[in-house]
Amino acid sequence: MMDYDTFTDEWYSIFLHSIDNKHSQKEVDFVQRHIPLKSHSTLLDIACGPGRHAKPLAQGGYAVIGIDKNAQSIDQACRSKCDGATFHLLDMRELLSLRKTFDGAINLWQSFGYYDETTNLQIMRDLCRILRPGGRAIFDIYNRDHMKTLPLTEQAERSGQNIRTTRSWSGDRMRCEIHYESGRRDIFEWQLYTPNEFVALAAKAGFNTTIQCVWFDETIEPSPKDARMQFVLEKPALGELRI
């Protein structure tokens, strides 16, 4: 049986390695604005990949631990050493095994919702547990209202390759298959959220939501016309009532 939510070499070359540095820097800048180094110097990068965000954040002064369940990603991250950043092969369902407390955490580029509803909520609760009071987390995820508007089959050229994408739905879960010219494919499946649903999920896990936006621009609110949306969450300080 083929594993879901793994990443072929084609996926890395077509989608990850083609990301413009300016785009990555915009994301890093957003993290630095909302998880400021002066007050939140220790960061957990959940589903860090090869360290696209962890490394520039470490270079900026943060102490970063990156985790990912993909061995190839962690191997690549570890090979290109970066002072201030360490990387571990770890599934996000095992956050408590880190036995550490962090000032902040990031989960970027639609890297949440892989598991069933109960497990996704437990991951959020575990994250809240390992953040200090006043700690912050940033999530960058797909907006289900937008993804529902996309065609079920789509042909496109990316990085010089023709790829075919097929999508299917089961309730609030989307399955996405990406077929490459080589004959290989990637299969991903996520539970996707509307903005209100994600805010409610965060609240169940113990977080306040302080910002909802798109394009890493705090002035633009989520809407069905934009695929991705960002949320800044905060764990209430000791003695603070969660609202």
What would the mean pLDDT of 201-229 be, rounded to a whole number?
Answer: 98
Closest CA to 190 of 4, 17, 46, 58: 4
For residue 165, is it within any domain? no
What would the mean pLDDT of 105-131 be, rounded to a whole number?
Answer: 98
At residue 1, does pLDDT exceed 50? no
For residue 103, is it within any domain? yes
Higher pLDDT, 142 or 2: 142
At residue 6, does pLDDT exceed 80? no
At residue 109, does pLDDT exceed 70? yes
What's the pLDDT score for residue 239?
A: 61
For residue 159, is it within any domain? no
What would the mean pLDDT of 225-238 be, rounded to a whole number?
Answer: 96
Structure tokens at 89: 């092969």
Q: Helix H segments across 51-183?
A: 54-59, 71-79, 117-130, 144-147
Amino acid at 122: Q
What's the pLDDT score for residue 108?
A: 98
Per DSSP, the three-state class of 156 is strand
| 142 vs 108: CA distance, rounded Å | 10
Helix (H) or strand (E) holding 154: strand 153-158
Give the number of residues written for the chain: 243
What would the mean pLDDT of 21-49 be, rounded to a whole number?
Answer: 97
> How many helices and strands, by DSSP H and E, does the chain display?
7, 11
For residue 1, is it within any domain? no
At residue 197, does pLDDT exceed 90? yes
Give pLDDT tens digits for 84-93: 999 999 999 9
For residue 160, is it within any domain? no
Boundaries of domain holding 91: 21-143+193-234
At residue 211, does pLDDT exceed 90? yes
Percent of the chain past pLDDT 90, that is, above it, reads: 85
What's the pLDDT score for residue 240?
A: 60
Amino acid at 204: K
pTM score of the predicted model = 0.95
At residue 208, does pLDDT exceed 60? yes
User: Binning pLDDT at 50, 70 and 90, where does residue 241 land?
Assistant: very low
Q: Which residue has the tokens 């621009």?
A: 217
Contact indicator for 101, 132 with CB cutoff of 8 Å: yes
Structure tokens at 20: 């413009």
Q: Output the average pLDDT for the chain.
A: 94
User: Binning pLDDT at 50, 70 and 90, where does residue 2 land?
Assistant: very low
For residue 168, is it within any domain? no
What's the pLDDT score for residue 134?
A: 98
Q: State the CATH number of the domain containing residue 227.
A: 3.40.50.150
For residue 28, is it within any domain? yes
Give pLDDT tens digits for 69-82: 999 899 999 998 89
At residue 3, does pLDDT exceed 60? no
What would the mean pLDDT of 97-124 be, rounded to a whole number?
Answer: 97
For residue 207, is it within any domain? yes
Give me the number of domains the chain comprises. Answer: 1
At residue 169, does pLDDT exceed 50? yes
Give pLDDT tens digits for 213-223: 999 999 999 99
Q: Which residue has the tokens 């050493």?
A: 81
